[in-house]
Amino acid sequence: MSQKTDFLIIGTGVAGLSFALKMAEHGRVTLVAKSSLSNNNTSMAQGGIASVVASEDHFENHIHDTLDAGAGLCLPEVVRKVVEDAPMRIRDLQKWGVEFDHRQSDSLGDVDLTREGGHSHRRILHVQDHTGMAIQQALQSRVKENPNIKILENHIALELLTDHDLYPAQTGANRCIGASFLDIENHKLVDVFAPFTMLATGGAGKTYLYTSNWEGATGDGIAMAYRAGCRIANMEFMQFHPTCLFHRQARNFLISEALRGEGAELINAEGRTFTYDFDKRGPLAPRDIVARAIDAEMKTSGAECVYLDIRHKGKDFIKQRFPFIYEKCLSLGFDLAEQPLPVVPAAHYLCGGILTDEHGQTDLPGLFAVGECANTGLHGANRLASNSLLECLSFSHYAYLKILQIKDQVPLPLGQRVDHGLYLHKENADEFMLISHLWDEIRSCMWNYVGIVRSDRRLQRALTRIRNIEVEIAEYYSHFKLHPDTVELRNLATVARLTIECALRRQTSVGTHYNIDHPSQKSDLNPLNSISPNSLNG
């Protein structure tokens, strides 16, 4: 089955939804969700969105904090543009119905601001402790009401479609003309053709054994873009969030950095604070530093976790400021007001991804990428807290402006059916035990060998194993029934390999990439560590 649309958007977090709302004013939009519309990392974001709002704060402060957190690898011109545009993106959200917490009045100047790690001022706008969910719900409501937006849920993306797919004999420049999907519920292939395709597919936290991400964060957009010919950059920079709840029943439950912004301390089992031994900012240092501090403390003491202590703020404050976190922890047997909370680091946010320009345009004409799947130059080697939602909104807007300039020059693709050569009907139930094993093996390998602290030897071992796994996956993908698990597994392995290859090429320790064989940061750091599908020389 094939469909045509003016704008195809893959991914339904804040990047995809905000882009859809703007493009719907200029044509037909098809918005595709891998699962339900609300299943994504945006819905799980607790902290908030960073913007200079307070009179005592200034753009230069936010720019400095972002560059500092990025450890010298951010693109300064990108940082400045995003930071200076942030108040306008906040107004976009308010126009769409997002109501941020306020102190007394409802004017922007009286918005309630919090502070998070790496920020020199209080500049995080929030909706209690479930900001992402509030933004997701507000934008979803607008999307569902818009007659120009067609929503396809439970459709997992398989491949990007290009001119060369339709016309194999064609020479010259290639162009993205849509994507193919598996309709999961009906088990049918669907091709959606469009002159412009947006990847807003999120990150790849599920590459690791322990992560704060939702279950579908398997790097699908990154893997598809790579197979279609796009460069992938800075994959070594996976940010590990310092504080995920240490509990068997809630392995991906994030404990927001805002708790530390409001005065929570990190302590060991003896009750001693230890983060100040690593950085004078203590628990409010950038995430890479705090995560390494926790990792070092756990390895030194042999403990399974450390503890986050906010008891001194009192129950009334905790319940009012962090109602969602408080109730969730209480349901698992922890009272934040009465006891320190056991926490561990977990894979959280990918700072690299599909290489784009300042408009979100990839190497492949017709294909844009925004949000966590993209490498825009904003984050460098480590993301400053609460700059992620801001990046999604900013680059969706920049892509929108760029497409408005060129959309009349690009015709709608012909939309011929593509023969994918994929198996839809051959049963292979007995083989899924091995698929599950390979999935676990990739994630364990990445956690053990490509984690918070790395070495050349461990990286080489990981690369050898992942390459072997890719060979096994290719065999299954070609011969057995097409299934979401096999689609995700193939993407997971591709993203894992790209991460390891980038890590091996980065012969220094910087930001979230720390290699004990290359511990010192060089002064001539390259902000772009890219891999081309046609060459490992980028």
Give the residue numbers marked as catalytic. 287
**What's the token pair of residue 344?**
């561990």
Instruction: Dump the DSSP string for 250-319.
Output: -TT-B--THHHHTT-EEE-TTS-B-GGGT-TTGGGS-HHHHHHHHHHHHHHH--S-EEEE-GGG-HHHHH
Cβ atoms of 287 and 146 within 8 Å: the answer is no
Task: Say whether 199 sits in a helix, a strand or coil.
Answer: strand
Cβ atoms of 206 and 223 within 8 Å: the answer is no
Instruction: Of 390, 394, 392, 355, give the one whose Cα is nearest residue 376.
Output: 355
Instruction: Of 194, 127, 131, 186, give the one whose Cα is nearest residue 153.
Output: 186
Q: What angle do CA 65, 129, 15 make, to 5 degrees?
A: 65
Instruction: Of 400, 449, 433, give the one whose Cα is nearest residue 92.
Output: 400
User: In whole angstroms, what is the distance from residue 276 CA to residue 274 CA?
Assistant: 6
The backbone torsions φ and ψ at residue 42, rounded to the nearest 5 degrees and listed phi first, read: -55, -45
Backbone dihedral region for residue 143 (phi beyond 0: left; psi -120 to 50: alpha; all else: beta): alpha
Q: What angle do CA 7, 13, 19 make, to 5 degrees?
A: 35
Task: Read off the amino acid at residue 84.
Answer: E
Residue 489's beta-bridge partner residues? none
**What's the token pair of residue 346?**
């977990």
User: In whole angstroms, what is the distance from residue 359 CA to residue 377 CA?
Assistant: 11
DSSP state of 284: G
